[in-house]
Amino acid sequence: MAIFGGKENNVFGVIEEHLKDVRETLQRFKELVEAYVEGDEERARELMAAVEASEREADGLRRGIEEMLYGGAFLPSSRGDYARLVEVVDNVADAAESAAHVLILARPKVPRILKGEIVKTVETALDTYTTLEKAVSHLYRDVDIAIEYAKKTEHREELSDKMELELMEKIFESEDVSTYAKLIWQQVVTKIGDIADRAEDASDQVLLIAIKRRG
């Protein structure tokens, strides 16, 4: 296990803050979806602002980490790996913000019998990120545990894909939803799936870094 110096430890500290802001973005997105499917569009619009604010915070930290990296933290051969990791983690927040924008701007009718499944699909996608977060946090503590959680992230993403497909099938089979609403929900559900997909992308980067460090 490599021993990191002050600059590296400072970077890991900011990475932890970045992970927290991404998590906050996802939580606000989940609350937004819950409000929307329950018919509280005013609350959902308020939460849209919270999603955007958290995403901006995460994006600002991403840029700060990049400046720290290229300001001398880590060996030159490793800086690109960590910069890429932070970028793909940040993409998780971007995916949530994008899903929220489509939902709030297009305002599709909610299939009543599927309200619970829509929320559950969001929760499953967010579980993928929760597992990824543990993988990233262990990169500077124990690379073997980081690898374990990275592999678990892949499994979580597969579960998310399965729920996404099942939900889409039910939406398209519903006779209570217009063709317009079905097309919008297809976009929203696909973007919810992107949350898990981007988390899996980040888990691949965790594996790369961990395997290099394990040597």
Q: What digits encode the pLDDT tens for the residues 180-199? A: 999 999 999 999 999 999 99
Q: Which domains does the chain have, with CATH numbers?
A: 6-214 (1.20.58.220)
Residues 80 and 204 sit within 8 Å (Cβ to Cβ): no
DSSP 84: H
The reported pTM is 0.92
Around Cβ 160, how many Cβ atoms within 10 Å? Answer: 27
CA-CA distance, 59 to 73, in Å (whole number)?
A: 19
CA-CA distance, 74 to 71, in Å (whole number)?
A: 9
The average confidence (pLDDT) of the chain is 92
213 pLDDT higher than 70: yes
Residue 205 tokens, joined: 């980067």
3 pLDDT higher than 80: no
Write the DSSP string, 19-38.
Answer: HHHHHHHHHHHHHHHHHHHT
Residues 21 and 54 sit within 8 Å (Cβ to Cβ): yes
pLDDT at 17: 97
Residues 17 and 63 sit within 8 Å (Cβ to Cβ): no
Residues 90 and 22 sit within 8 Å (Cβ to Cβ): yes
Over residues 60-79, the pLDDT tens digits come to 999 999 888 888 766 666 78
CA-CA distance, 115 to 134, in Å (whole number)?
A: 29
Around Cβ 42, how many Cβ atoms within 10 Å? Answer: 9
Q: Model confidence at 9, in pLDDT bands (50, 70, 90)?
A: low
